[in-house]
Amino acid sequence: MMSNEIKILSPCGMLGYGFPAASFLNGLKEEIHGIVVDAGSTDAGPHKLGAGVSIVSERALKKDLELILTNGIPRKIPIIIGSAGGAGARPHVESTLSIIKKILSENELSAKIAVIWADFSQEEIIEANRANKIKPLSLNIPDLEESSIKDTIRIVAQMGHEPILEALENGSDIIICGRSYDPSPFAAIGIYHKKDPGLAYHLGKILECGALCAEPGTTKDSILGVIKDASFTVQSLNPIRKCTPISVAAHTFYEKEHPYLLHGPGFSLDLSACTFHDAENGVVEVSNSRFIPAETTFIKLEGARKAAFRTFVIAGVRDPILIENILEIEERVKGQVYEYYQEIDTEEYQINFFNYGINAVLGTKEKEAFYGHEIGVLFEVIAKTQELANSICATVRSTFLHFGYEKRKSTAGNLAFPFAPSDVEFGVVYEFSIYHLMEIDQSPFQIEYV
């Protein structure tokens, strides 16, 4: 198992985002010890977990996986997929497994597949919560209530490298991971080959986003990482991109709350003494990444529940008088709707306006003055039922469309609708009901071999 240099190929920053075949095949000119790709994130919010749907399309997943599998399996390179399907829950993992089986069949390939499940039942979480094994992830998250657990549809936890390492040791050709700590599938390759875990995890932190650590950065291209005894290197596999000490160091800070401490399941990384230098043109060498085991191992739990139903409308506004007074007019529109539906408690629904071109992105933090000639208005209604959301949204739309305001020159047509019908029934709105840490004594993740 031992090798002086362990080479890991990261095809892209998100499975299904796509990557140039030429870049990927450039990487396969080397002796590769693992092809590893991240497939999940909570960046899109709780909907993917709650609804059990993927971040990307099945077509895109199959396209990326076919290139990876048909080139990796004949070369006997272990292939690891982290956070399969987007959220890494059972529906996402099963969907990914189905696509992989189809590709293997179509290409007359065989492989030993390990599936590592990351799902937890409500009963398991309730028991852990009663045993005081669960705590909030951050200060702004409340303690976990039993009622919240019972409302939660799906619960997953982020696995570390341990179950992935076990699957590698059992000779798996393809490892499909449920929800994973993003760097763990990458780190598992290095640790399997007895490399320093600090280097393995730091490299995993960089490789998980594909070529985002290069210039120009992108998640849609391939990158190569090489772990040595006292350092690791990263390099782009596309000649139009180049890794530099600054680009790699900058990506080390990506999505971190602390400049040099990175917490993971059962450990932390101390990167305070790290050095980054250009070993040769476009090959950046990194050293002094320190792995510090934790006294207690916590894994991050993620759970989603149904919160409400949404209906929304997108419209354009070009009247400068309306634009100048848009915030006041929107409040007056809300007031008319509340008055019309006096019999409905306002706690049963919300009306929200987002004025794109003025302050929809930063809201009240927006400081720049607005000088444009048109804006886009997105308004939504979130309610306890879809029927109520539809009804309130239709009333908001008709009220806004014909609302009379001072100095208006026309009597109708305040809003320009790009679509007909204008009202879009979104469906269920999910929210994170569990975003906590759970203490464990041993790995609770179950491995199934296919």
**Could you tell me what percent of the chain has a pLDDT over 90?**
91
Q: Which domain holds residue 60?
A: 6-118+158-294
Q: Residue 99 domain-assigned?
A: yes
Give residue 3's pLDDT.
61
Q: Residue 142 domain-assigned?
A: no
Element (H, E) at 150: helix 146-151
pLDDT at 91 over 80: yes
Query: pLDDT (tens digit, 9 = 90+) per residue, 229-265?
Result: 999 999 999 999 999 999 999 999 888 889 899 999 9
**Domain identity same for 360 and 414:** yes
Which residue, among 49, 75, 57, 46, has the nearest Cα to 18 in the 3D structure?
Answer: 57
**Domain identity same for 258 and 329:** no
**Domain identity same for 415 and 330:** yes
Give residue 136's pLDDT.
96
**Domain identity same for 74 and 105:** yes
**Domain identity same for 217 and 362:** no
Q: E strands within 34-118? A: 34-38, 79-82, 113-117
Give residue 437's pLDDT.
98
**Domain identity same for 274 and 324:** no
**Domain identity same for 244 and 334:** no
CATH classification of the domain holding 340? 3.30.70
**Domain identity same for 416 and 290:** no
The neighbouring-strand residues paired with 430 are 306
Give residue 366's pLDDT.
83
**Domain identity same for 248 and 396:** no
pLDDT at 61 over 80: yes
Q: Residue 71 domain-assigned?
A: yes
pTM, two decimals, is: 0.93
Question: In angstroms, what CA-CA distances link 359 with 120, 355, 416?
Answer: 40, 6, 19
- Selected residue with higher pLDDT from 342 and 412: 342
Backbone CA torsion sign across 119, 122, 126, 129: positive
Strands 297-317 and 290-293: unpaired
- Total structural domains within the chain: 2
Mean pLDDT of the chain: 96
Query: pLDDT (tens digit, 9 = 90+) per residue, 370-380?
Result: 778 999 999 99
Q: Residue 63 domain-assigned?
A: yes
Give residue 411's pLDDT.
75
User: 3-class DSSP state for residue 175?
Assistant: strand
Backbone CA torsion sign across 120, 122, 128, 134: positive
**Domain identity same for 361 and 252:** no
Q: Residue 128 domain-assigned?
A: no
**Could you tell me what percent of the chain has a pLDDT over 70?**
99
**Domain identity same for 319 and 413:** yes
- Each residue of 153-175: b (16+ CB within 10 Å) or e? bbbbbbbbbbbbbbbbeeebbbb
